[in-house]
Amino acid sequence: MRLLVTGGAGFIGSNFVHYVLREHPEDTVVNVDSLTYAGNLENLRSVEGNPNYHFVKVDITDREGLRPLFEQGIDVVVNFAAESHVDRSILEPDVFVRTNILGTQTLLDLAKEYGVSKYVQVSTDEVYGTLGETGLFSETTPLAPNSPYSASKAGADLLVRAYHETFGLPVNITRCSNNYGPFQFPEKLIPLMIQNALEDKPLPVYGDGLNVRDWLYVEDHCSAIDLVIRKGVNGEVYNVGGNNERNNLQVVKTILKELNKPESLIAFVTDRLGHDRRYAIDATKIRRELGWQSKYNYESGIVETIRWYLNNREWMERVRSGSYQQYYEKQYGDR
Ligand code: NAD
């Protein structure tokens, strides 16, 4: 099978590339990434030289740039490429609409034109909006996105649905909860907090810190997507989640405890605009219909993740140079 994986230099995409090359050595992965600030080819250093792995620097909105890849034959498209950070979408929504919606439409057009056997859109639980104290998102929960990021992902999901209904394109959409694990860009909660704690800098926590997310180890997300590629029923949406609800303060306290740092480093900052209060996923469908199971429990997965960042401080240092620094200063000043 020849897979075109977009956004493979990012956090989940690079974990997925490693996963497929390890679990399906007979498959070929063509990694298409435009290498924005979030794309880091160092994540894939260990697979360079693998004859079944190819990297091509192309923007997913560049139809003619993508065409030669489809002409060489593609069986499956897995679209991870996206602008993914909610805070950035509040500052500059334009690029989110361009990449997340127009990029998806470009890929759908090519998938249709070249007759791929599967198109998988990697989406997010954020398209469902926010929950109160109780309840879970199911695949039939109405879409109610609250940030420019989640609105652009919801727009893309609707296009994917429409290409199935209108053109019969064999699609699936996965909607996963928050991921954690190696290679995550240090603007996101867990690597950001680890980095600050290691440097004895304040750990900026939004609002009262009680916003709840349902955390899943990245490799469990990869195994779910892999299963959907191979067994997903065309046209279906599959929610993916680990039943690991934690509020931000709990996550931050675990990091501080593991790194032996004082809780006095926690600094509450003005809440994010439109900050969703709680996400929680009902993943019954993918478990029951495709037999998916998560392997990692949160308690050990988070400790393993903290250790990975500790053991890869050079990776962190290199990522933090350049545009990340400027962005960080804009958001958090001198912290
Ligand atoms: P990321 O920001 O780490 O990586 C995104 C990748 O896409 C980068 O390598 C970047 O260079 C690339 N990219 C961005 N714009 C591009 C363009 N126009 N053309 C080609 N490549 C482009 O993101 P991530 O956290 O790995 O998320 C991957 C996907 O999974 C996204 O679609 C996101 O919405 C979804 N998702 C993420 C989470 C999470 O917790 N991180 C949870 C559920 C779903």
Q: For 281-315, write each residue's pLDDT tens digit.
A: 999 999 999 999 999 999 999 999 999 999 999 89
Binned at pLDDT 50, 70 and 90, residue 334 comes out as low
How much is the pLDDT for 320?
Answer: 81
Inform me whether the pLDDT recorded for 331 exceeds 50: no
Percent of the chain with pLDDT over 70: 96
216 lines ligand 1 (CB under 6 A): no
Q: Which of 125, 226, 245, 282 is catalytic?
A: 125
Please state, in angstroms and rounded to a whole number, the distance separating the CA atoms of residues 217 and 112: 32
pLDDT in tens, 196-208: 999 999 999 999 9
What's the rounded mean pLDDT across residues 116-123? 98
pLDDT in tens, 141-172: 999 999 999 999 999 999 999 999 999 999 99
Query: Letter for the amino acid at 315?
Result: W
Please determine, for the modelled complex, whether the ipTM score is greater than 0.85. Answer: yes
Cα torsion 136, 216, 125, 23: sign: negative
Helix H segments across the chain? Answer: 11-23, 63-71, 86-91, 94-96, 104-113, 148-167, 189-198, 218-231, 248-258, 284-290, 298-311, 313-320, 323-332
99 lines ligand 1 (CB under 6 A): yes
Structure tokens at 178: 């928050």
How much is the pLDDT for 87?
Answer: 93
Residue 214, H or E segment: strand 212-214
Please state, in angstroms and rounded to a whole number, the distance separating the CA atoms of residues 77 and 125: 21
More reliable by pLDDT, 330 or 128: 128
| Residue 263 Cα to ligand 1 middle (Å) | 31
Q: Whose structure tokens read 């940030």?
A: 147
Inform me whether the pLDDT recorded for 213 exceeds 50: yes
Inform me whether the pLDDT recorded for 193 exceeds 90: yes
Q: Which domains does the chain have, with CATH numbers?
A: 2-180+215-240 (3.40.50.720)
| Residue 332 Cα to ligand 1 middle (Å) | 23
Binned at pLDDT 50, 70 and 90, residue 11 comes out as very high
Residue 157 annotated among the catalytic residues of the structure: no
Residue 314 annotated among the catalytic residues of the structure: no
Q: Could you give the C-alpha distances from 163 to 5, 69, 131, 200, in angstroms and in order?
A: 19, 21, 29, 50
Please state, in angstroms and rounded to a whole number, the distance separating the CA atoms of residues 81 and 103: 8
- Residue 249 · residue 213 · CB < 8 Å: no
| Residue 122 Cα to ligand 1 middle (Å) | 9
What residues contact residue 85 under an 8 Å CB cut-off, 6+ apart? 38, 149, 185, 187, 188
* Phi/psi of residue 55, nearest 5 degrees: -115, 135
164 lines ligand 1 (CB under 6 A): no
What's the rounded mean pLDDT across residues 317-329? 57
Residue bearing the CA closest to ligand 1, atom 14: 82
How much is the pLDDT for 321?
Answer: 74
Please state, in angstroms and rounded to a whole number, the distance separating the CA atoms of residues 124 and 240: 9
How much is the pLDDT for 333?
Answer: 52
pTM of the predicted structure, to 2 decimals:
0.95
Quick one: which atom of ligand 1 is closest to the CA of 178?
40
Residue 149 annotated among the catalytic residues of the structure: yes
Structure tokens at 65: 């740039």
